[in-house]
Structure 1
Amino acid sequence: MRIAVDHRTHYRFSEPQARLVQMLRLTPCDTQGQTVVSWHIGVDCDARLRDAIDGYGNAITMLYAEGPIAAIDITVTGEVLTSEATGLVREAIEPLPPLFYCRSTARTLADVDLLDFASEIGGGDPLERMHRINTALHRRFPKAPDAPDTGATAAEAFAGKSATSRDVAQIFIAAARSLHVPARYISGYRSDGEAHCAPHGWAEAHIERIGWVGFDPVTGLSPDASYVRVAVGLDALGAAPIAGTRIGKGREELDVDVHVDRLGGDE
């Protein structure tokens, strides 16, 4: 499948900023299931862009801009060829061992309710248990949109009546780690024919003798050829598409517009 991505981020500041430093986790890498055909990051002001690979194996771009800056637009456009891999992740850059992803963060700590939820999944084959968690979360949160990050923890989101794709992915991760299964957060894109105000989030769990397998509680299924995998992290914060600092006073407003379109059938 050929997928086109158009991701636009617009920052506005109530007062001009003296300097911006941003880490952009906006560039996908080639894996067995996806090949980047073309990819471009654009900025509408004078800025230096430096490409690198971070400790997770993500392709990152460091953005440095000197002020005064009243607003800045960051645009991402590209095309990716994807193929069906039944959720399996192969030939990705893996600088860290799976055991590293058993580490909990402030946003993926499981409370008593989440621990009970995970334990009720029951025993058996680890892969089957992960699929049961995925299905159960989909039933609990049947409509989890791609939405801006509110900073909610997995426990807070689990206790609520609604959640975003980011939230349910972190809930899945917390549940998996409570069962001693390495799990990590994935930021990327999903083609579903709709426009979104944030990238899509899902999870991967490491299964012995199989490797990393993707799980998306939004659909209750594993990612297919309609997904573009971009960044890996211990949680949503660690895989955030844009993160950084600014020097200057005032408030910041953010608008994000994401379009993901299918340009062709299976390749």
Structure 2
Amino acid sequence: MKLRISHETVYGYDHPIRNLVQSLRLTPSVFEGQKTHEWLIEVSGGIRGPGFRDGAGDWIEGWTVRGPTDEVSVRISGRIETRDTAGVLRGHREIIHPTTYLRDTKATRADKGLEALAAGVSEAADTLDLAHRLSAAVGEAIAYRPGVTEMHTTAAEALALGEGVCQDHAHALVAVARLRELPARYVSGYLHSTIDGESHDAAHAWAEIHVEGLGWVGFDAANRCCPDERYVRLGSGLDAVDAAPIRGVAMGNGAERLDVAVQVEEIAQ
């Protein structure tokens, strides 16, 4: 599938900031399931700093914006070609050992509810089967409903509520997988899901679970499937904060507001 992606994030400030430093994880991953043909990152008034590939295989680059300014925009545009690898992250280079992803964070820390959900999944024929069953259990336990949770909602809180968005499904799946001794991590990216090809808001998140013999395999509990050619992978981390496409620090006293617009559309063959 050939996709065109447009992603704009605009930061506004009540009072002009003096300086802004950002770390961007906004470049598509390099693996067999996707090939980038064009990719442009623009930061208004920004100075591009050094970039590097981290131990998880994600490309990260730094940007600095010198003020005073009361608005900063980060724009991404590009074309990418994807193919279905049945969720398996083939050909992705990284050096971090999978067991690193057994470590909990505040967002994925288990409580009694998550422990019960993990324990309630019956024994499976193999690790891959168990991962599928855990993903299905999370999809059943948390209904997809936008607007009921927020950025800092934890997996435990979303499960107790029984509703949430893709971030909550990913956090919960990461949590229960780790409880069953399976390394798991949070993945950020994009999703093209409109059958008629119309562009739409499509920032997305899912989880990856490490399966012996296969490596990392993606599971989207929110949509009850494994990532296919509709998905574009950007990067991963222990949780949403760790895998955030944009992280930064602004120097100033003004309150910050944020507007995000993402479009993913299929390009005619």
| TM-score range relative to shorter protein | over 0.9
SS in 1 for 2:187: strand
1:60-99 mapped onto 2 (5 Å cutoff): 60-99=60-99
TM-score by length of 2: 0.93
Match of 2:25 in 1: 25
Instruction: Read off the aligned partner of 2:200 and give its amino acid letter.
Output: A
1:119-158 mapped onto 2 (5 Å cutoff): 119-124=119-124, 125-145=126-146, 150-158=151-159
Instruction: Read off the aligned partner of 1:150 and give its amino acid letter.
Output: M
Match of 1:108 in 2: 108
SS in 2 for 1:47: strand
1:1-267 mapped onto 2 (5 Å cutoff): 1-124=1-124, 125-145=126-146, 150-193=151-194, 195-196=200-201, 199-264=203-268
Alpha carbons of structure 1 residues 15 and 227: separation in structure 2 relative to 1, 3 Å:
same
Q: Is the 8 A contact 1:195 1:257 kept in 2?
A: no
Alpha carbons of structure 1 residues 3 and 244: separation in structure 2 relative to 1, 3 Å:
same
Deviation at 1:18, TM superposition (A): 0.5
Identity between Structure 1 and Structure 2 (%): 37
In structure 1, the gaps of 5 or more residues are none
Instruction: Read off the aligned partner of 2:57 and give its amino acid letter.
Output: G
Deviation at 1:46, TM superposition (A): 4.1
Instruction: Read off the aligned partner of 1:195 and give its amino acid letter.
Output: H
Alpha carbons of structure 1 residues 146 and 21: separation in structure 2 relative to 1, 3 Å:
farther
In structure 2, the gaps of 5 or more residues are none
Q: Is the 8 A contact 1:137 1:220 kept in 2?
A: no
Report the Cα distance in structure 2 between the residues aligned to 1:23 and 1:149, rounded to whole angstroms.
22
Instruction: Read off the aligned partner of 2:138 and give its amino acid letter.
Output: L
Deviation at 1:71, TM superposition (A): 0.2
Report the Cα distance in structure 1 between the residues aligned to 2:127 and 2:162, rounded to whole angstroms.
28
The CA RMSD measured in Å over matched residues stands at: 1.8
Superposed CA deviations along residues 226-253 of structure 1, whole A, max 9, x for unmatched, are 0001111011110001111111001000
Instruction: Read off the aligned partner of 1:165 and give its amino acid letter.
Output: C
Alpha carbons of structure 1 residues 148 and 188: separation in structure 2 relative to 1, 3 Å:
farther
Runs of 4+, deviation exceeding 4 Å: 144-149
Instruction: Read off the aligned partner of 2:111 and give its amino acid letter.
Output: D
Alpha carbons of structure 1 residues 135 and 168: separation in structure 2 relative to 1, 3 Å:
same
SS in 2 for 1:81: strand
